[in-house]
Amino acid sequence: MPDIMKPTPLAPTYEPSRLRIEQTDITKLATTAIVNAANSSLLGGGGVDGAIHRAGGPEILEECRKIRARQGGCKTGEAVITTGGRLPAGYVIHTVGPVWNGGLKGEPELLASCYRNSLRIAAEHKLDSVGFPGISTGIYGYPKEEAAAIAVREVQQWLAAHEWPKEVVLVAFDGQARQLYERQLASGS
């Protein structure tokens, strides 16, 4: 067909982004689920894990104990789901990040698996929205910039290929983490 007769392609319709960054305490986040940076015992700990169990109450630990009885905890890179107890979020997805050990012990792939397996659980349960802390970037010592790059990449790839969850929030606990996420978003897309 001559060029002049070809229909003008429609301008792409505007789709509001399904990924956003929020600087907050994740225990205050009212997403359908929040993700916990747990350890393989699933019995709680410090950091965001301690904060989630404190704010959510004993029901979360009760369900964690049942999961332990069934499958013996949670391996690094994997994820399980419990109630959110008294949290504003209805559910907690517990994932176990890798301990940073120099970067040549499979840490990047294990961290990516944490994001993918948590998102898979959210999709299986058709959860609307999920908030993630910076898994492994506290006590487990993962370099924050590399971890932010993996988080943004994995979430964007998941959202491009899946309908659920509808929205993902990457939670920054401080201004430095927020800037790292914002830079990754600006450079990556």
| Residues 56 to 95 in contact with ligand AR6, rule: CB under 6 A | none
Q: Which residues pair with 22 in a beta bridge?
A: 171
State the virtual CA torsion across 76, 80, 85, 88 in degrees, nearest 10.
80
**What residues contact residue 104 under an 8 Å CB cut-off, 6+ apart?**
none
- Assess 173 for contact with ligand AR6 (CB under 6 A): yes
Q: How far is the CB of 169 from ligand AR6 (least distance, A)?
A: 11
The single residue among 18, 20, 22, 51 that binds ligand AR6, judged by CB under 6 A, is 51
- Assess 38 for contact with ligand AR6 (CB under 6 A): yes
Give catalytic residues, as residue numbers. 49
The single residue among 31, 76, 118, 136 that binds ligand AR6, judged by CB under 6 A, is 136
Least Cα distance to 40 among 19, 20, 68, 14 occurs for 68
Stretch that binds ligand AR6, among 9-17, 129-137, 153-161, 162-170 (CB under 6 A): 129-137
Total binding residues toward ligand AR6, as defined by CB under 6 A: 24
Question: Between residues 84 and 133, which has the closer beta carbon with respect to ligand AR6?
Answer: 133
Spatial contact of 5 and 104, defined as CB atoms under 8 Å apart: no
Q: How far is the CB of 166 from ligand AR6 (least distance, A)?
A: 21
- Assess 26 for contact with ligand AR6 (CB under 6 A): yes
* Residue-by-residue DSSP string for 114-179: HHHHHHHHHHHTT-SEEEE--TTSSTT---HHHHHHHHHHHHHHHHHH-S-SSEEEEEESSHHHHH
**Applying CB under 6 A, which residues contact ligand AR6?**
25-27, 37-39, 45-49, 51, 97, 133-140, 171, 173, 177
